[in-house]
Amino acid sequence: MQALVDVILPVFLVIGFGYVAVWRRLFSDSAMDGVMLFAQNFAVPTLLFNAIAHLDLGQSFNLPLLTTFYGGAFAGYMFAWAGAKYLFARPPEDCVAIGFCGLFSNSLLLGIPITERAYGSEALAWNFAIISVHAPMIYAFGITMMEVTRSRGSGLPLGKLAAQIWRRIIHNPLVIGIALGFAVNLSGVRPPELFWSAIEMMNRAAIPAALFGLGGVLYRYKPEGDFKVIVWVVVASLAVHPAVAWVIGGPLWGLDTGPQRSAVLTAAMAPGVNSYLFANMYGRANRVAASGVLVGTGLSILTIWGWLLILP
């Protein structure tokens, strides 16, 4: 119970403040869009830039950690995709969008604050190692699967398809922030102290603004229809992804406590808002993705609590 009160509920209270602010019309939709634009396109990429620039790459990056998390992630994708295709007979493009919901956990807006509150800021090195390849890898996979699915029978040249995928990835603000962080880290060039002071100010705003904005955005996602598919997506995200990660990291790799905690707890997060943005970008399974984000975020209060009780 202490973990629920001290670790999880404060994070979800901030989300709740944003939800109530829009629900009671204390904050307009356009203003909330501005908050999310600031958070996702500026503050959070700056946070990632700072984290990657200062990350000890040799210590934080290792194959067992990434295999643990991403093995679970791709298991979540396959579970959601196969259910959409074989159980619910959705069109091929819908299956990719639904699979993406089981693949893209909210590793950033939920994973970072909950891990920090549970295990301290020093535990975040493993989270940032996961997140540094999260958006590039997941978006590259999702966009590739969708573009290949859409282009079947169209005769689209492979080079043009690859160019489409590349353009979508490199224009993502999170990817830009991560790439710049790696550039500073690997080059050894250090900007002056006043630069880092400004970055630190942005960092302090990133997570609170993102959580508040997430709550406001979630108000728009009313669960409507497609109940069975939504449940399937939530199971893929909240159960399959962390369970597979827990098995891979434990019996298979024997990960140390720190990276095992970060990998499994990050895997246990609800589908990220990017799941909806991906579906909306292609106009496929929008309602399932939106409802999956909303329902999954609400239920994750209990499932995250459960994983905190299980993890050492």
Instruction: Please write the tens of the pLDDT for every residue from 215-268.
Output: 888 887 776 678 899 999 999 999 999 999 999 998 888 899 999 999 999 999
Q: How far is CA 192 from the centre of its chain?
A: 32
Does the structure show a pLDDT above 70 at 184? yes
Residue 83: give the domain boundaries: 2-310
Q: How confident is the model at residue 2 (pLDDT cuts 50, 70, 90)?
A: low
| CATH label of the domain that carries residue 300 | 1.20.1530.20
Amino acid sitting at position 118: A
Are the C-beta atoms of residues 107 and 272 closer than 8 Å to each other? yes
Closest residue by Cα to residue 288 from 238, 221, 239: 221
Number of domains forming the structure of the chain = 1
Closest residue by Cα to residue 86 from 241, 231, 232: 232
Residue 178, CA distances (Å) to 76, 142, 143 in order: 24, 19, 19
Contacts of 221 (CB under 8 A, 6+ apart): 276, 290, 291, 293, 294
Give percent of the chain above pLDDT 70.
Answer: 93
How long, in residues, is the chain?
A: 312
